[in-house]
Structures are given as structure tokens and as C-alpha cells.
Chain A
Amino acid sequence: MMESMRSEMDAKDMETGKGERITDPSFSSLIAQESGENLLACYQCRKCSAGCPVAHAMDILPHQVIRMVHFGHKERVLASNTIWICASCYTCSVRCPNDIDIAKIMDVLRHTALRSGVRPGERDIPIFHSAFLDSIKSKGRIHELSMIWQYKSKTRDFMKDAALGWRMFRKGKIKLFPSKFGGGRELKSVFSRYEKGK
């Protein structure tokens, strides 16, 4: 019921333009170009949203994201939690009758959101990704313990999953020290290209 009300309200908003003050006409072509996907092929059958395992936690459903991109509702899409909740499971992409790779579009929207500096619709997920990438940059491989410590020091949520962590430690699943690696220079250049291009 909630779902159908939400989508009706959104559809109405989109028709009247209410609730969406800023539109960017170039947004649709930017996303189409970066993803290489033909968004205009979408005829709003909602199959992507129907099969999405995490749709219940999204503030905009996947088919609505596609329509909002068409309409240039840049800010609303980039500030949505949807683009971060998407788990990249590709269920939508394989079921789309028009062969639109929706998971890939979600990737491009995340990249665009990070570059645009908009406040992300989910707090912890982008922090996690950044802690994860920092760990690769400094250690080459993910050393789970230090990566998790870094993530938690940014979210300040030290108690969450502490018991699970302790059980895993006792089972020998937590490695105390990172492995050594020798690819530092190559990794540095990959990361510096990324940092320059941001």
C-alpha cells in the first residue's frame, strides 16, 4: 500500500513538476553517455523494481530513478539513498525487457554523486567504500581488521558487530597483521590518476 502510494505521489510530482525545483536538462545525456546505456528505451514496466531484493529500503524505486534521470531531476537522484542501497546484484539488469543495464546506471550515478559533492542519501556506505579503498592504497590488500577499525573510527559506532568480531577472532578468521606486498608504486599511480580526475 505504502509502495503504491509513494509511486503515485512521485508520478504526480513528476507530472506537475511539484516537489522538484531544480532540473538539469543535460543530466539525462550525461548519464546515458557515461553508462553507454539507452535510458530512453525504458517504458516503465517496473520489472526492475518488482525484482529488486532491496527495493523495500530505497527512497526512490529503480524504475523511478530511470524516469527521474530522463526528466533531469539531478539533485533528487544523486541525493537519494537508492543509489547507495543498490547491492549491484544485477537482477534488474538481466530482467529488463529493453536490455538496459540498470546496475551499471547505478554505478554511474554513484560516481556522479561523489564528484558532485552532494550530501549522500546514506551516511555509512560511502564512508565504508572510502575506508576500503584507503586500505588498498596503503596495504595493497584488504587487511580486514585495520580496514574495519578505520571505518568505525569514522562512523563512531564501535559496538555494532563487536560480538560477531570476537567470535570470528576466536575461530581464527581475523588476521592480526597485514600481508606484505611489493606492488606499491603501481598502486600509487592508479590512485593518483583517480585523485587527479576527481
Chain B
Amino acid sequence: MFSVDTKRGNRVNELSYYPGCSLDGTAREYDESIRGVCEMMDISLHELEDWTCCGASSAHCTDEHLAIELAARNLAIAERGDRELLVPCVACYSRFKAAEKEVREHPESWETAYQGKVNIRYALDFFCQDSLMDTVGEKVVTPLSDLKVACYYGCLSVRPPEITGVRNYEDPQHMDRLMSVLGAEPLPWSYKTDCCGASLFMTRTDIVRSLTHRLLEMAKEADADCLVTGCTICQANLDGRQDDVGREFGQKYDLPIFYYTELMGLAMGHRDVKKWLGRHLTDPTKLLSSKGLMK
């Protein structure tokens, strides 16, 4: 969908945008940073009118029809416009792709206006395409030198590969490449795609604490300064439960958990980075000041 506006000589890109419920609440900084980054890259986002929840884990754990039809309702809205659909939340993305597959393969089984024609793009994959990565590279004004990052992909951004299209799903590299373009140092580590406990975050917090403990330990062992993610639940679990996990396991953790879009905004010099980072429960400003990346 990229086109060149010859009159102004600018690259113009128009995308439909489905923020999803988390970005309307606890993951506000992801929404704000994605809009900020898009603005800097001359990408205009058109939020879907009257979007509703994708159904998330609760729908697919409860009933197949609810899961497919709640997701497909939003895709039908997107289909009315002739644009790609940008989806920042990986849980929404996964539900949309599952609905797309079902609607294409068994159209008779579902009551929906959706015909399976929308190009659904997970935001991380979108920014990691080669052509955009070059644009990002050109716009970097503050390279994130000396920042050692552990890229944490989590589950649904890579699995199942027949839905995500990610080939190296046991050791993905695309976010690592994006971090290199920003000037940061992505570290090799073995827990890139391990689960954080995800939708058990409110119910079995004991399980979430044990899984996030392992992730934080492994990131520390890899000598990471911070973790980077594109998943709102991973971010909430790792950022919000860090103190609890530390208390339970007798450790002190101080590992900021960034959205990749926040680091893009930081490297490209967006004016609102401080506001975004101010919403984190594990304060990242100390780390960034010590690296000379923030005043």
C-alpha cells in the first residue's frame, strides 16, 4: 500500500487501525507511541469506526462461534475501507488471523459479513519489513548506543507459524534487527518465545510470577539492561509484577520493559517519549539517563 505522493515528494501511507481494548486502557503508552512513530514516518492511521473487542482468550476458551464472530465483526468494518489493517496487540492479531482462516476455509459456518479480504498486519511485523526498516534507519537521530536489549517475542507473535507466517519461530530475529537499526545491541538469549503466563494474569498469579521470574532471571543472565516486547500482556506481567516477583524469590529486579515503538520514538527523537515512559511501573528513566539517552 505504499505510494509516492509526487506533488509533495513525500511517502504517504494510509492504514486502517484497530487499537484494541488494552491500548484503550492499561497499555496506553503503546497506543501513544505507535501513533507517535507513525506520525514521524508519514503514516496516517484511520481508527476503525465502532470497533469492539476481538473476544481475546475468553472467547476462544468459551465458544468457537463467539471467538470467530466477535473478531470477524471488526474485520468486516475494516473490509469496507480499502486499506491494510494495522493491529498492535498480538492477542487481537492472533484472533483476527484465526477468524480469517476460518472464514476463508468454511464461509458457510459463520454468520458474518466478512469475506476474508483484509490484509491484517501485526504492527511489529509491519515495522520490521525491509523497506520500512530503511526509513526508520534514516530517521534515527539518537542511536541507542550501549543499550543491551533482550527482545522478548512471547507466544502469539510467532506461534502458530501457519497463522503468523514467522518461519524461524523458535529463534525469531526480526525485532532484533529492528533494535540494531536503532543502534541498540540485541542480545542472544534462549527465552525469546517462552510464555509469561498470559491470560492467567488475574487468576493464577502464582503461575505468572514463576514464569516471569524465569524470564527476568534469564534476561539478567544474558546481561540485558532491559526487555523489549510487542505484547501488552507480556509488558503488563513483566513490568507490573517485577516487585512482587523480586519479593517472592528474594531478588531485586530493575529491568525496564519497553514497547519496541517507545524505543523507536526515543531513537527518532519524538517529543512525547517521557510521557510514554512515565506510565511504566518499573521506571526506565534511570537506565536511559545512565546511558546518556535521556536528560
Contacts and interface: CB of A to CB of B under 8 A. Distances in A.
A124 B65 CA distance: 23
B65 A93 contact: no
Please tell me the size bucket of the interface on B: 35 or more
Interface string A118-138: 000010110011101101100
Contacts of B50: 140, 181-183
Contact of A194 (B53, B65, B205, B280): B65
A138 B28 CA distance: 22
Chain A contact residues: over half helix, strand or loop, or mixed? helix
B198 A87 contact: yes
A81 to B, nearest CB: 9
B25 A174 contact: yes
A12 interface: no
A171 B56 CA distance: 25
A111 B64 contact: yes
A143 B64 CA distance: 23
A193 interface: yes
B13 interface: no
Given A110-B61, A142-B53, A190 B200 contact: no
B61 A107 contact: yes
B41 interface: no
Contact of B205 (A87, A160, A197): A160
Given A53-B195, A125-B200, A197-B65, A136 B159 contact: no
B36 to A, nearest CB: 16
A57 B206 CA distance: 10
Interface string B43-70: 0000000111101111111111110011
A90 B160 CA distance: 6
B205 to A, nearest CB: 7
Interface hub of A140, A182, A186, A187 (most chain B Cβ within 10 A): A186
A23 B259 CA distance: 49
A85 B195 contact: no
A133 B39 CA distance: 34
Interface of A: 53-54, 56-57, 85, 87-91, 93-94, 101, 103, 107, 110-111, 114, 122, 124-125, 128-130, 132-133, 135-136, 140-144, 148, 151, 160-161, 164, 167-168, 171-175, 179, 181-183, 186-187, 189-191, 193-194, 197-198
Given A93-B159, A107-B61, A181-B52, 5 more contacts: A54-B207, A136-B59, A189-B111, A190-B70, A197-B63
In the complex, the 8 A-B pairs of residues with the closest C-beta atoms, listed nearest first: A132-B58, A142-B21, A89-B195, A90-B159, A129-B58, A89-B155, A140-B52, A124-B203
17 contacts: A54-B207, A89-B156, A103-B160, A110-B61, A114-B63, A122-B204, A128-B203, A136-B59, A140-B50, A140-B52, A142-B21, A142-B25, A168-B240, A175-B25, A186-B73, A194-B65, A197-B63
